[in-house]
Amino acid sequence: MAPPKKSKKVKRKAKDSSKCGSLYSEPKLPEPQPPDSEWWYSFWHKNYDSGPDIPLEEDEAFKYFFRVSKKTFEYICSLVREDLVSRPPSGLINIEGRLLSVEKQVAIALRRLASGEAQVSVGTAFGVGQSTVSQVTWRFIESMEDRARHHLKWPEPERIEQTKQALEASFGIPNCCGAIDATHIIMTLPAVESSDDWCDQESNYSMFMQVVVDHEMRFLDMVTGWPGSMTVSRLLKFSGIYKLCESGKRLNGSRAEIREHLIGDSAYPLLPWLMIPFEGKGLSAAMKTFNVKHKSVHTIATRALSQLKGAWRILHKVMWRPDKQKLPSIILVCCLLHNIMIDNGDYLHPNVELSDHHDAGYKEQICLQVDSIGRAVRERVCSHLQVSTMLTD
Amino acid sequence: MLCSIPASRASSSWLNRLRASKGFPVPSDLDLEQFLRPSSIPNPTSPPPELDVAGLLSARPPRSRKKHPPLVDPPAPGKRIGDDEELQLFDLMRNALSDLFVMGDPRDLAARRKGLRKQMNPRACVPSASASVDCGASRAALETPPSSADNSVAEAQKGRTKMRKRGTGGQAADSDLSAYSRTEVTVIDTSSSAWKSEKALYRKGMVWKVREKKVGNFCRKKRRLGLGEKIADKKRVRPLADLKGRDLCAKLESQDERCTLIDNGANAKEFVDHCQMPRRPKSWRSPRLPQKSSSPSKSSLPFRLQVIAAKK
């Protein structure tokens, strides 16, 4: 069944009248401009049968193509409207020579990020050229970097307290503020740029990305741009969160001699504020219990990264010769979109295909660096878990 | 300098000059080997020893002073022993040279004359790369290269000790990055005040060094800070040429390293101006673009000029 087409004239008239109203109204109140939905019906009509899994229901189809609900989409448009609104003569135009609405530009950018398809394919789906897709996507990314950054920030103490309580209630680990993990964004490079510095352990050219997530899979901290060839522990040490935590400016609260900490896998060093699992054979029961709980918390970070790469498939696919100066911005904006969805209560559609692991094909690194204070903190967490397990039994 | 000292008398004139400059006497019958032997230590009364030794050691990293404390080796039996000052001076000299070369035991110095003239195992004088892997890190211990930092606690602690001895030797290490491959990276870190930063990354094997690239903010978009700026933002017309200019900036930056090293305002301003110069080609604007009533009779060029003037 083809989706219904809406009359273009009606929409255009509504738009014009709202413009006139906003010019002469005193005092000025934000005039509720009717969002441009014409592009959507045109797009849906053109692409409803472009794949086997496309839902027939309109809202679901919208989420299939753009990952976000219409409500979240409107919110994103409101964020970037100031930057993307087309003004002649610089406004972007489509093939028919008409200015692109903000909604259509956001849709083009979201589709490019969500599908990871080539710019030409995305352009064809929207009836615009490849260069328009390129320009629109970059303008959107630049705007989001500026205007949506409040969606990715280190939380206030009250919010951290909520996270700690939620994680302790679910997994029993006290004073845990989240989980940390890293993933590779794989790319190809032109021969002139194919330096070993970007060639990682699996002989892919890649860029690192490290995130800290809370109990709701929201990104609290993100660092990217470093080459994938370095070790995860080196990546950590180059990151801002490491410096803040080491200087005691972050994760400095303590309870029962257990410092606020994050949960990381064996690729990270054991630090007073970063707990990693016990390694080796002959682990005691308490250590095994710790490892089980530890893994459960760490899974939140792993799932968050899988969702990120599943939803914004531009990060999942092998990126073809990206501009390494721009790639970090693309990664950041995908993280911002991930957080916006969570903040708006908009969850990923279950039909979205997720891989088992965000870094499939990569062997787990093991860092043997152990800080003595970190070891003591881990022992205390271990004892705490043992006591609480005994009490519950 | 000391690496190239030959022991031949023929080229002793520059050696004499060196000795003289350091305050050592310049006897006509003194060659390097005699100079190095304890028996040939010149009379310490003529030069002021403390001053000279300090001058000699100042060229070396401070760690060597700790590594080679004076009067470590007991005098060999049968060796003619002078007074304490002579011995101390000799040891300091030997330490200074042994830090640069693999000297071996001084007791069989006479037996290996040729070995002394031509160093069999010259020691590399490249400053250790583990020194300043990161700038501004609070714990130097954890800035050891991954080969040690990642692998064992013992090695990490060893690195920590080394770092303490080295002190602020970062500048010395900076001077020799020729052996490192250089990569320019754009890093986004939400834990740093400015999320986006340009860095120069140096790598040699598993050793990484990072340096901040001093770039002005001329390529960054203005951030919203308050209501005033928000209002200004609303009035702002950002022509695409601006964006193109920014792209061009990025390209200039990556192509010419010198561009990225500008750190004063004047230079940065100059680049702003340069960035605004390029204009989009005339063919960019579609002839089918509908003319709005706001600028029906104006050509595109005056319009753009007007926008730029308004921005200033």
Give the tens place of pLDDT for each residue, A312-325.
999 998 888 888 89
Residue B231: list chain A partners with CB under 8 A: none
DSSP B244-255: HHHHHHHHHHHH
**Residue A368 token pair:** 């043997």
Q: How far is B64 from chain A (nearest CA, A)?
A: 28
Cross-chain CB nearest to B189 (options A195, A239, A269): A239
Between residues B16 and A229, the one the model is more confident about: A229
pLDDT in tens, B209-234: 999 886 544 444 444 444 444 444 44
Please tell me the distance from the alpha carbon of residue A270 to that of residue A262, in angstroms, as a whole number.
10
Residue A255, φ and ψ in degrees, nearest 5: -145, 130
Picking from A76, A50, A74, A78, the residue whose alpha carbon sits closest to that of residue A64 is: A50
- Distances, alpha carbon A142 to alpha carbons A109, A120, A147, A280, B238, in Å: 11, 21, 9, 46, 13
B contact residues 130-149, partner A, Cβ 8 Å cutoff? 133-134, 136-139, 142-143, 146, 149
- Distances, alpha carbon B228 to alpha carbons A81, A300, B217, B225, in Å: 18, 41, 20, 8
Residue B150: list chain A partners with CB under 8 A: 231, 233-234, 269, 367-369
Q: Which residue of B has its CA nearest to A229?
A: B206
Across chain B, what does the average pLDDT equal? Answer: 50
Count A/B contacts: CB-CB distance under 8 Å. 152
Cross-chain CB nearest to A237 (options B143, B192, B292): B143
Contact predicate A233/A274, CB 8 Å: no
Average pLDDT of adjacent 10-residue blocks, chain A of 393 residues:
50 43 42 72 89 87 94 96 77 64 95 95 93 94 95 95 95 95 93 80 93 97 95 95 95 86 96 95 92 96 96 92 92 97 91 86 90 94 86 71
Tell if the CB–CB gap between B190 and A146 is shorter than 8 Å.
Answer: no
pLDDT at B171: 45
pLDDT in tens, A120-131: 999 999 999 999
CA atoms within 13 A on the CB side of B228: 0
Picking from A271, A205, A261, A203, the residue whose alpha carbon sits closest to that of residue A233 is: A271
Domain ranges of chain A: 35-147, 150-392
Q: How far is B114 from chain A (nearest CA, A)?
A: 43
Tell if the CB–CB gap between A324 and B142 is shorter than 8 Å.
Answer: no
Please tell me the distance from the alpha carbon of residue A13 to that of residue A251, in angstroms, as a whole number.
56
B contact residues 170-209, partner A, Cβ 8 Å cutoff? 181, 183, 185-192, 195-196, 199, 201, 203, 206, 208
Please tell me the distance from the alpha carbon of residue A150 to that of residue B153, in angstroms, as a whole number.
39
Cross-chain CB nearest to B150 (options A142, A196, A231): A231
Tell if the CB–CB gap between A233 and B150 is shorter than 8 Å.
Answer: yes
Contact B237/A at CB under 8 A? yes
pLDDT at B197: 93
pLDDT in tens, B128-180: 333 333 333 333 333 333 333 333 333 344 444 444 444 444 444 455 788 88
Residue A326: list chain B partners with CB under 8 A: 186
Residue B237 pLDDT level (bands cut at 50, 70, 90)? very low
Please tell me the distance from the alpha carbon of residue A129 to that of residue A189, in angstroms, as a whole number.
24
Q: pTM for the full model? A: 0.61
Tell if the CB–CB gap between B142 and A246 is shorter than 8 Å.
Answer: yes
Q: How far is A75 from chain B (nearest CA, A)?
A: 18
- Distances, alpha carbon A49 to alpha carbons A1, A116, A158, in Å: 9, 19, 48
Cα angle, residue A170 at apex, residues A165 and A172 outer, rounded to 5°: 75
Residue B221: list chain A partners with CB under 8 A: 142, 145-146
Residue A254, φ and ψ in degrees, nearest 5: -145, 145
Q: How far is B86 from chain A (nearest CA, A)?
A: 47
Contact B114/A at CB under 8 A? no
Please tell me the distance from the alpha carbon of residue A37 to that of residue A41, in angstroms, as a whole number.
7
Please tell me the distance from the alpha carbon of residue A112 to that of residue A134, in angstroms, as a whole number.
9
Residue A197: list chain B partners with CB under 8 A: 181, 183, 201, 203
Contact predicate A367/A232, CB 8 Å: yes
Contact predicate B134/B210, CB 8 Å: yes
Residue B28 pLDDT level (bands cut at 50, 70, 90)? low
Query: Which of A141, A197, A329, A339 to probe the B interface (max B CBs under 10 A)?
Result: A197
Contact predicate A184/A204, CB 8 Å: yes
pLDDT at A125: 94
Q: Which residue of A has its CA nearest to B145?
A: A234
Interface confidence, given as ipTM, is: 0.87
Residue A203, φ and ψ in degrees, nearest 5: 60, 30
- Is residue A234 packed enough to be buried (19+ CB in 10 Å), middle (13-18) or exposed (0-12)? buried
Counts of helices then strands in chain A (DSSP H, E): 13, 8
Q: Which amino acid is at A26?
A: E
Residue A331: list chain B partners with CB under 8 A: 188
Cross-chain CB nearest to B138 (options A154, A197, A243): A243
pLDDT at A88: 64
Residue B134: list chain A partners with CB under 8 A: 237-238
Q: How far is A355 from chain B (nearest CA, A)?
A: 26
Q: Which residue of A has its CA nearest to B183?
A: A197
Tell if the CB–CB gap between A227 and B185 is shorter than 8 Å.
Answer: yes
Q: How far is A356 from chain B (nearest CA, A)?
A: 27
Cross-chain CB nearest to B221 (options A135, A146, A234): A146
Please tell me the distance from the alpha carbon of residue A66 to that of residue A58, in angstroms, as a whole number.
12
Residue A83: list chain B partners with CB under 8 A: 238
According to DSSP H, which parts of B200-277 are helical? 227-235, 240-255, 257-260, 265-276
Contact B238/A at CB under 8 A? yes
Q: Which residue of A has its CA nearest to B279?
A: A90
* Residue A17: strand, helix, or coil: helix
pLDDT in tens, B194-205: 899 999 999 988
